[in-house]
Every structure is written in structure tokens, then in C-alpha cells.
Amino acid sequence: MLKVGIVGVSGRMGHNLIECAQGMDSIKVTCGIDRTVALPAGESLEVVGSVPELSALPDAFIDFSRPEATLGVLQAAVGHHLMMVIGTTGFDEAGKREINRAAHEIPIVMAANFSVGVNVLLALVRRTAEIMQDADLEIVEAHHRYKVDAPSGTALAMGEAAAKGRGVSLKDVMVAGRDGITGERPYGSIGFASVRGGDIVGDHTAMFCTDGERVELTHRASSRATFARGALRAALWLEGRKPGLYSMSDVLSLS
Ligand code: NAD
């Protein structure tokens, strides 16, 4: 049985992970890392603020927290040769580099979105961008009012997939957060728009617009359990893997 520790255990995803793992024989949540202790009713886990405070280490950490928490746990995971599943979004370039470096030492699955449906969507976005080279591509995402980063990690992953399909670099063509006199839309750009409100779990649409028609590819998540199940599946998949940075498409054999 795989023993996992949840980073961000007191948060929305942390609670979903605990609940989803309860129905599994192959995995056991043995501890949590969080700056606050707020567990689902009836749950009694060891929850501490940092890895050195744990009385016993897990085999793997599943992390849905904030970048600063992730990077702290990552260092400890490298030190103890533990596997890691990273779902947290919003890393800056230095943070991404740190994760890449750690992946030389330990196996890591990192995904902006752990749902199976979104990973199918990413493959479709890449292919459509490749076929509809001239279409204006706009990516629209909507999330609950508590989300702190924008565009969402999934929206950025859709942009990366489309850029790959077009053989360009996303950072060269990305336009996010339009406001005021923006001028005309640059040819070949990939636009991003973010909606925040209520309890929206996560909606993502890629709009490929040309003169006379448009194709829209949409995914809507209605429950966080879809991300939790994917992350637990990724943790099980990691067992016995060599160090490296893996994606959810590796886990699902979509690559
Ligand atoms: P949340 O705010 O409900 O939970 C985050 C938890 O992390 C909180 O309990 C908080 O106390 C804890 N935390 C924050 N900073 C910390 C620190 N420095 N040290 C220790 N603990 C700390 O958020 P959430 O909705 O559960 O989402 C968490 C992250 O997961 C976000 O980055 C979100 O974008 C991402 N997310 C990813 C996916 C995916 O499929 N990859 C799905 C959903 C959410």
C-alpha cells in the first residue's frame, strides 16, 4: 500500500483527496502538511507545518497548496528520495526551474490539470491549432472566487499545447488581460480571458475563430473529485519510476 502525505491538506483539494483515497485499497493518506489544521469531520491525521516535523515520512507527497509551500516540501522530498505529485499552479520561472532540477533526483508528476477530460482536451487543442493555423485563438477560463492566479494553469497548458501545434513559443504570442485601447488583434496571437465568481469548479474553452466560422472546444469540471482521482492515480503510477518530470499525458499514455 502506497503511503501518501498531502501538502495543502486543509484546503479544498486536500479534503477531496482524503475523501477519494478512503475508497482505495492501494493508497493510504498517512499525514498532511499545512499552515492551518482543518480536516474533514472525523478525520485524525498528523498535520504539521513542514516535513522535518513529521513523526514518520510517507512514500510520496501529493501537493495542492501554494508555490512557496510546494518548493519547501520539494527540497525535503529530494533529501529523502520521496516521489511527488504536484497539482499546485502559479509557479514563476525560478520555481519551474527548481522543479526541473529536483526531477533529476526524484520522479515527479506535474500537471496543471489532473482530470482525464482536460488531458483529452489538450490533445484536441494541439491538433486543431495545427490544422487551423490561421484561426484567431482565444482561451477563456472561469473559476470560483477564491482562485488566486490567472490565467489558470490549465488555460496556460492549453496555450502551450496550441503553440506546440503551431511550432511557436507561447511567450512570444501570448496576450492576457486586455484593457483600454489595445489596438487590433496581432496576427497569430493567443489571447487569454479569465472569469472569477461563485463556486465554479473550472471551465475552459478554446475558440478558434476565422472569417465565417468558429470551432469551440470546451471542458467543464463539475466536481473537484475528478482532479483528486487523477492525482491519486498519478501517485500510484509513479511507484518504481526513474527520476524525471512526468505529465498527466504520460500517466494516461496519451503522449
Ligand atoms: P485552497 O486555498 O483551498 O488550499 C490550499 C491549502 O494550502 C490551504 O489549506 C492553505 O492553508 C495551504 N497553504 C498555503 N500556503 C501554505 C504554506 N506556505 N505552507 C503550508 N500550507 C500552505 O486551494 P485549492 O483550491 O485546494 O487549490 C490549491 C492549488 O491547487 C492551487 O494552486 C490550485 O490552482 C491548484 N489546483 C490544481 C488542480 C489540478 O488539477 N492541477 C485542480 C484544482 C486546484
pLDDT tens readout for residues 164-196? 999 999 999 999 989 999 999 999 999 999 999
Out of 3, 28, 147, 164, pick the active-site residue.
Answer: 147
Average pLDDT over residues 121-132: 96
Q: What percent of the chain has pLDDT over 70?
A: 100
- The CB of 227 under 6 Å from ligand 1? The reply is yes
The pTM (predicted TM-score) of the whole model is 0.86
Question: Which domains are seen in the chain, by residue range?
Answer: 2-110+224-251 (3.40.50.720), 116-221 (3.30.360.10)
Kindly list the distances between the CA atom of residue 41 and the CA atoms of 36, 37, 38, 45, in Å, as whole numbers in the listed order: 15, 12, 9, 11
CB neighbour list of residue 63: distance below 8 Å, 6 or more residues apart? 6, 7, 8, 69, 70, 73, 84, 85, 86, 87, 88
pLDDT at 112: 87
* Count of all residues that appear for the chain in the document: 255
Spatial distance between the Cα atoms of 37 and 57, rounded to a whole number of angstroms: 18
Whole-number Å distance, alpha carbon 203 to ligand 1 midpoint, is 18
The per-residue pLDDT for range 196-224, each reduced to its tens digit, is 999 999 999 999 999 999 999 999 999 99
What residue's CA is closest to ligand 1, atom 21? 34
**Which ranges of 153-196 would DSSP assign to H, the alpha helix?**
153-166, 170-173
Kindly tell me if the per-residue pLDDT of 124 is higher than 80: yes
User: Which of 32-41, 139-148, 238-247 shows the lowest per-residue confidence on average (mean pLDDT)?
Assistant: 32-41
Whole-number Å distance, alpha carbon 237 to ligand 1 midpoint, is 22
What average pLDDT is seen over the chain?
A: 96
- Count the alpha carbons within 13 Å of 201 in the hemisphere toward its beta carbon: 15
